[in-house]
């Protein structure tokens, strides 16, 4: 792993969505690196934020409960920060279809709040923004690189892409130092696993640890790549410390492409027991399913040297361990 | 011109932005075709709506002053309509940069209001949505077809593209019968010419008719295509009556590509007098300028037979006549 000590030691950093899956793993890492971490989170039920995610770091991380929709609060919170890691968001595709207005407020309006706050109150802050592969929609070719046509298949994808464009625009017009990362499926300790809102993987982990059958939609042949959370955190920190990435958008991706059925079987094997079953797609999920997806992450690799290091086998073994130990905090 | 009488006679139609440039020309045409026209407009100053635009049609067009941001009003207004022509919007690129939140509310949130209202209260209505070439940003090749990468250069372009995607999504997921048209520069009688908010052409027409010098930004070599408003109205009506266009996005475009300096000279010639001068780009305009642009409209032509019929010479002669006669209503 790269040594980031010199970069973040004594630096003030703000992590939005810092009680969430990625946010909490990042905040803990930054605190370990000696940064002065403030976590911003609304702790909206079902959005992924969990107080237990910062367990053990209570005296090293400053917590500010607030909603990104609170424009006035953001104007204050961005001041004095050297880095902003912008991980807050509404991430459920299904919820975005059932309530497009809330998704709009969180994934568009609040992103404008943050960028406007930085433009007016902290124009030199370094920003890393978490985006999603969802902007691409159903892949027209594989692996998907950053030149792939944009064709989001749900409200969440539309709004997250607007968020990406805001970042690029505020860089180009106002010189804000911002980078967007289009994440693929991420997994690891501290993800919300109560249901399939954030990703199917979370639900599978819960089903497995609780001794229930894993349900795989369709024929299970859909291909995916996945990133272990430590690799995602590494990418975020590398980007933040690489000036050449400012104004750019990068894919993350995994080097092990796996079908969903193969993944279910791997999890069962790592768990030592369990079972899975193919079931038909629920229609509301089928309508927004993207089929096979895996990313070309060579642009990020060229710019920063990043590549995923944790294998699926190793990453899921660690993740299963975590939920066997702490599962009661998550379901 | 195509004979639309059978399609629109006695049909209930709603035109959003119906006091505006395109909306009023369309509403007048529909009234002439025997449709029962309701016009929805907020008449926000500076947005293009002008009561004089429906002059002479007061007893044939029903006017409903309301804002698209009024979700409850829309739920009522969409009911019973056979067609909705959705032309309301915030169209100023500069204003969108200065107040991105208002642009978001009008060009994103209100579009969701309309689509949700239709989904819940009138799912079989035929919708035509006015979008913009701005989604493409700076052209990477010319002419620009619908496969051109999307890369909007300002907030307005980002939000209008989100609006396009909403249309496509609500067609695919909910079966709404909607089509988006990506307009290029449109011109003709009833456009707002008080300033350059809607398009530079409006301001030029005012300057010319008022005996003032036309100011052309940069070297004047930027190429553009333009559509006369009657051709735009024709495209909208053709699309509305062609079921195969549902769920699709089409470019409009002109067949006469002209540089801005050539256009200024043409206007001066048609006017019989006047002058123009090259001036440096104001920086806030240069930042969002897209350079040369002209569209490939062959997809629309294949689907509907549409092509622009009014030459620049003829269209601008008619337009200048209009403003010489009615200019005082517009400045």
pLDDT per position as a tens digit, B186-198:
999 999 998 877 7
* A147/B169 Cβ within 8 A: no
B199 to chain A nearest CA, in Å?
Answer: 21
As a dihedral over the C-alpha atoms of residue B314, residue B315, residue B316, residue B317, rounded to 10 degrees, the angle is: 40
Q: Choose the closest CB to B109 out of A101, A154, A161.
A: A101
CATH assignment of the domain containing B256: 3.40.50.720
| A contact test, residue of B165, B174, B175, B247 with most A CBs within 10 A | B165
Q: Per the domain annotation, does A219 fall within a domain?
A: no
* pLDDT of A3 over the 70 cut: no
pLDDT at A93: 87
Digit-coded pLDDT (tens) for A188-216: 999 999 887 778 899 999 999 999 999 99
Q: Per the domain annotation, does A279 fall within a domain?
A: no
Banded pLDDT at A282 (limits 50, 70, 90): confident
Runs of H (alpha helix) within B179-310: 200-209, 229-240, 260-271, 283-286, 298-304
User: What is the average per-residue pLDDT within A310-331?
Assistant: 97
| Cβ contact A310:A157 at 8 Å | no
Banded pLDDT at B51 (limits 50, 70, 90): very high
User: What is the average per-residue pLDDT within B90-116?
Assistant: 94
Q: Per the domain annotation, does A106 fall within a domain?
A: yes
User: What is the average per-residue pLDDT within B164-172?
Assistant: 97
Q: Per the domain annotation, does A280 fall within a domain?
A: no
Q: Per the domain annotation, does A328 fall within a domain?
A: no
**What domain range includes position A175?**
5-190+227-255+295-309
Q: How many Å apart are CA B106 and CA B88, to the nearest integer?
A: 8
| Cβ contact A274:A264 at 8 Å | no
pLDDT at B196: 78
| Cβ contact A148:A139 at 8 Å | yes
Nearest to A281 by CA among A227, A224, A331, A221: A221
Banded pLDDT at A113 (limits 50, 70, 90): very high
pLDDT at A2: 57
* B165/A158 Cβ within 8 A: yes
* A287/B173 Cβ within 8 A: yes
Number of domains in chain A: 1
pLDDT at A268: 97
Banded pLDDT at B2 (limits 50, 70, 90): low
Digit-coded pLDDT (tens) for B267-289: 999 999 999 999 998 888 888 78
Q: Per the domain annotation, does A168 fall within a domain?
A: yes
B174 to chain A nearest CA, in Å?
Answer: 10
B295 to chain A nearest CA, in Å?
Answer: 19
pLDDT at B3: 64
* pLDDT of A1 over the 70 cut: no
Q: How many Å apart are CA B69 and CA B20, to the nearest integer?
A: 17
pLDDT at A91: 86
Residue of B nearest to A105 (CA): B109
State what percent of residues in chain A have pLDDT above 70: 98
pLDDT at B124: 98
| B contact test, residue of A158, A161, A176, A249 with most B CBs within 10 A | A158
| B contact test, residue of A146, A169, A170 with most B CBs within 10 A | A169
* A165/B152 Cβ within 8 A: yes
**ipTM of this complex:** 0.92
Q: What is the mean pLDDT of chain A?
A: 94
* B116/A104 Cβ within 8 A: no
């Amino acid at each position: 792993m790269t040594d980031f000590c010199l970069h973040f030691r004594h630096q003030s950093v703000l992590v939005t969505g810092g009680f969430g899956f990625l946010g909490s793993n990042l905040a803990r890492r930054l605190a370990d690196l000696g940064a002065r971490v403030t976590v911003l989170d609304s702790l909206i039920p079902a959005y992924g934020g969990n107080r237990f995610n910062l367990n053990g770091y209570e005296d090293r991380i400053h917590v500010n409960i607030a909603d990104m929709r609170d424009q006035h609060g953001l104007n204050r919170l961005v001041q004095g920060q050297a880095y902003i890691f912008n991980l807050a968001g509404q991430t459920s595709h299904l919820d975005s279809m059932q309530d497009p207005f809330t998704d709009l407020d969180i994934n568009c309006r609040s992103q404008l709040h943050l960028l406007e706050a930085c433009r007016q109150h902290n124009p030199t802050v370094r920003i890393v923004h978490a985006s999603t592969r969802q902007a691409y929609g159903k892949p027209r070719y594989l692996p998907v690189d950053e030149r792939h046509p944009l064709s989001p298949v749900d409200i969440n994808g539309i709004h997250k892409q607007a968020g990406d464009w805001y970042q690029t625009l505020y860089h180009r017009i106002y010189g804000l130092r911002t980078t967007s990362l289009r994440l693929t499926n991420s997994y690891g300790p501290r993800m919300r696993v109560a249901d399939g809102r954030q990703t199917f993987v979370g639900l599978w982990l819960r089903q497995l640890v609780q001794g229930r059958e894993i349900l795989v939609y369709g024929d299970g042949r859909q291909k995916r790549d996945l990133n272990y959370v430590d690799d995602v955190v590494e990418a975020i920190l590398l980007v933040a410390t690489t000036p050449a990435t400012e104004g750019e958008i990068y894919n993350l991706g995994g080097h092990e492409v796996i079908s969903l059925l193969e993944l279910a079987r791997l999890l069962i094997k790592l768990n030592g027991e369990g079972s899975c079953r193919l079931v038909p797609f629920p229609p509301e999920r089928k309508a927004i399913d993207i089929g096979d997806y895996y990313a070309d992450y060579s642009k990020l690799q060229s710019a920063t040297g990043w590549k995923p290091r944790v294998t699926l086998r190793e990453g899921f073994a660690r993740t299963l361990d975590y939920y066997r130990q702490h599962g009661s905090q998550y379901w």
